[in-house]
Amino acid sequence: DVKVTQSSRYLVKRTGEKVFLECVQDMDHENMFWYRQDPGLGLRLIYFSYDVKMKEKGDIPEGYSVSREKKERFSLILESASTNQTSMYLCASSWDTSGRAPNEQFFGPGTRLTVL
Amino acid sequence: GDSVTQMEGPVTLSEEAFLTINCTYTATGYPSLFWYVQYPGEGLQLLLKATKADDKGSNKGFEATYRKETTSFHLEKGSVQVSDSAVYFCALKKTSYDKVIFGPGTSLSVIP
């Protein structure tokens, strides 16, 4: 089974702290994604990556950065956490299916981040 | 732009009732369509998918048929259980390099 793991299920940080959220997948997926999920707003894409050292902005990249130094690991960084970044963060990964029908994304269990 | 619309709920059903969650989409080309389910406190997991018109996806008693003429992918189950209580997301994706477009999610509660 594909497994996507996230470093923490729950995290509490203070305003202004630098926060690292780690995501690791074990199926050699090319593509990795970070979303945040908020009540009433659904899932919103923050950043994604189609290959090692590549990154693309999603719909709401402001206040975030990412790092992908190894294929299996995709990190989300909050440079200076703010209270409006309190949210559920979901990591996902998928295979590259260029030229064929796209397949599904596999999600991690999520990290519920609270910024005080 | 591309979009997915689904009934937001919450939907409350009694155990063994019939479930329909409507999903319609707007997209150019020929997207693949997905239903994801999110159980309380967990991430999303794929429930079923269909990659071309008239395909039927099915899993765990749930079914959905890709209807291009009505741009729909409605989720159905003949007899729901309490364990089906979750949030259900309809989604589309056109190519490997496109973003997944998610609907807003439909919360389902099944009561004994």
Interface test with B, best of A104, A105, A107, A112 (most B CBs within 10 A): A104
At B7 the pLDDT is 86
Q: How far is B69 from chain A (nearest CA, A)?
A: 20
**Which 38-57 residues of chain B touch chain A by CB within 8 A?**
41-46, 49, 51-52
Partners of B89 on chain A (C-beta within 8 Å) are 42-43
- The count of other CB atoms within 10 Å of the CB of residue A28 is 10
Residue pLDDT, tens place only, A8-50 = 999 999 999 999 999 999 988 989 999 999 988 889 999 999 8
Partners of A31 on chain B (C-beta within 8 Å) are 96
Measured between its terminal Cα atoms, the distance across chain B in Å is 41
Secondary structure E strands in chain A: 4-6, 10-13, 19-25, 31-38, 42-49, 56-57, 64-70, 73-78, 87-94, 106-107, 111-115
At B97 the pLDDT is 73
At A104 the pLDDT is 86
Bigger pLDDT: A14 vs B28? A14
* ∠ CA B57-B90-B53, rounded to 5°: 45
Among A51, A99, A58, A28, CA closest to B96: A99
Could you tell me which chain B residue has the CA closest to the CA of A45? Answer: B99
At A1 the pLDDT is 67
Mean pLDDT of A61-76: 96
Mean pLDDT of A75-97: 94
Secondary structure E strands in A50-95: 56-57, 64-70, 73-78, 87-94
B76 φψ region: left (φ > 0), alpha (ψ -120 to 50), beta (else): beta
With an 8 Å Cβ cutoff, are B96 and A107 in contact?
A: no
Q: How far apart are CA A46 and CA A43, in angstroms?
A: 9
Specify whether the CB–CB gap between B53 and B66 falls below 8 A: yes
At A90 the pLDDT is 96
Confidence class of residue A102 from pLDDT cuts 50, 70 and 90? confident
Alpha-carbon separation of residue A55 from A30, A37, A50, A87, B84 (angstroms): 12, 20, 7, 22, 36
Chain A interface includes B60 (CB < 8 A): no
Q: How far is B21 from chain A (nearest CA, A)?
A: 17
The least confident of A14-18, A45-49, B29-33, B72-76 is B29-33
Mean pLDDT of B46-73: 96
